[in-house]
Amino acid sequence: MASNKSTITILTRSEDWEKWFWQLQANISDEIWPYINPNDEELQLLEAPKRPEPGDIIPNTRTYAQLSAANQRVYENARRFYDQDKKDYTRQRDQLQIARSYITSTVSQSKQTTLDPNLSIRQWLEKLKHDTEPSKGYMLRQTEI
């Protein structure tokens, strides 16, 4: 997010849409952009991984110590996969929070009232696009002037 505050566009009206959307894309991680871009096919975000428990390896087992040496290795391997999945999930969640913060800080107060916190960022962008993006006719008229 290397934008200079003095050049940030605040999305207020249709005329702001193209510049605001371009700045948004420039300020959002390339890793998360494909998941929130309202112009592309929707991709599934990662789900929070479930931490493996000893009972997942051998039913009715409550502690690591109750597992045999072979099953302890299976459990440790499952934990390594979980740890990596958790890192990936946390990274994605953090990037989504950064995107959410950027959007709320660059959208006018009147438009912020339509951004339901229970909606995904992609849903926010779809709503903003629907409500703000100028019509094709408007854009053609602007290029003719």
Domain count, the chain: 1
- What letter would DSSP give residue 130? H
Which pLDDT does position 7 carry in this prediction? 87
Confidence (pLDDT) at 137: 60
Amino acid at residue number 121: I
Query: Which residue type is seen at 131?
Result: D
Record the tokens describing residue 24, joined without a space: 């948004």
pLDDT of residue 57: 97
By residue range, what is the domain housing residue 18?
Answer: 5-144
CA 16 to mean position of chain CA atoms: 23
Q: What is the pLDDT along the chain (145 residues), one digit of tens a residue?
A: 454 555 899 999 999 999 999 999 999 999 999 999 999 999 999 999 999 999 999 999 999 999 999 999 999 999 999 999 999 999 999 999 999 999 999 999 999 999 999 999 999 999 999 999 887 665 455 555 5
pTM for this entry: 0.83
Instruction: Return d(Cα 111, Cα 127) in angstroms, integer.
Output: 10
Angle between helices 17-27 and 121-132 (to 10 degrees): 160
Residues 75, 63: contact at Cβ < 8 Å? no
Cα 76 from Cα 109, distance rounded (Å): 50
Helix axes 121-132, 69-105, angle to 10 degrees: 20
Residue 9 has a CB neighbour count (10 Å cut-off) of 17
- Closest of 88, 93, 143, 145 to residue 121, by C-alpha: 93
- Residue 91: what pLDDT? 98
